[in-house]
Amino acid sequence: MGISTVVSMHDLIFERYPQQYKAMDVAIYRKKFRYAALHADRVIAISKQTALDLQQYYGVPEKKIRVCYQSCNPAFGQPVSDEELQAVRAKYNLPQQYLLSVGSVIERKNLLTVCKAMNALKDKLDIPLAVIGTGSDYMRKVKEYISANGLNDKVLWLSERPGGVDGADMPAIYRAANLMLYPSVFEGFGIPVLESLWSRLPVITSNVSCMPETGGDAARYIDPYDVGDMAEAILEVAENSELRKGMTERGIVHASHFTSEHCAAAVMDVYKELA
């Protein structure tokens, strides 16, 4: 008697952006992912975007794909005391107000466009950007732009401090921020968006890929390639307390659909189909 199989697919980013990977890695990923997706009895996709990509790139029949969303660390949904916030501010030398960017400093994450928007706003908005993430060639390109435009005091590289960033401090860093900027051009799900919603942190993110699935009606969406659109959104959200309050309230409601219990139940339903 055969044993039913289920495979989970997070994304096919290497198919969309193969130039951002080693050619050998792309070849290996493609062979493994295609074989697994085509031979499994069910394929779990972590977003509708990933489900569409599986159909587009590998011809996986829609009828055997199930979308099961992810959750995030429950710590982001827990209250953070004023004492904890003060301690984290002191530890990372964070100002009273700051914008936040979380993610690898690679081209797809789009930090350069954020910095261009910051440059466009430097005479209108006096709030620095705190960056959590590391990179190589693209990061050097971003730093060159920052230096060339006199933004060195406006960008705080938290991951470069001695000891980097302690994961246990992340919820407090989110809670203390004014606004999350996550204009990635493509993701499998976009965990920092969900972490922000749980943290009651307003989010500006992209109107492409899976981000509208993760952000729902709580996020402010922008064209990730449009510096003016991003700058306008940053200024609008940063200066409008009522807008931020509404985004926060909608964010908690939307995030409640992505609890660990919801996600585990969705995955269990897939296994029950094959029982």
Same domain as 109, residue 225:
yes
Work out the pLDDT band at 151, boundaries 50, 70, 90.
Answer: very high
Same domain (yes/no): 210, 228: yes
Buried/exposed 36-70: b ≥16 CB within 10 Å, e otherwise: ebeebebbbbbbebbbebbbeebebeeeebbbbbb
Mean local confidence (pLDDT), 53-69? 98
pLDDT reading at 1 higher than 80:
no
Answer yes or no: do 139 and 265 share one domain.
no
How many CA within 13 A on the CB side of residue 226? 13
Asked if residue 87 belongs to a domain, the reply is yes
- Which range marks the domain in which residue 178 is found? 74-257
Q: Model confidence at 2, in pLDDT bands (50, 70, 90)?
A: confident
Cβ atoms of 6 and 40 within 8 Å: the answer is: yes
In a shared domain, residues 114 and 230: yes
What's the rounded mean pLDDT across residues 78-96? Answer: 97
Residue 1 lies in a domain: no
The tally of domains found in the chain comes to: 2
- Provide the pLDDT for residue 275: 87
The verdict on residue 48 lying in a domain is yes
**What are the residues whose beta carbons fall under 8 Å from the beta carbon of 13, sequence distance 6 or more?**
20, 108, 186, 187, 188
Shared-domain flag, residues 135 and 121: yes
Q: Do 216 and 80 belong together in one domain?
A: yes
Q: What average pLDDT does range 53-62 have in this prediction?
A: 98
* pLDDT tens by residue, 161-206: 999 999 999 999 999 999 999 999 999 999 999 999 999 999 999 9
On whether both 148 and 65 belong to a single domain, the answer is: no
Which contiguous run of DSSP H or E holds residue 6? strand 6-9
pLDDT per position as a tens digit, 69-80: 999 999 999 999
CATH number at residue 18: 3.40.50.2000
Same domain, 129 and 183: yes
Single-letter amino acid, residue 55: Q
Helix 191-198 / helix 241-255 crossing angle, nearest 10 deg: 110
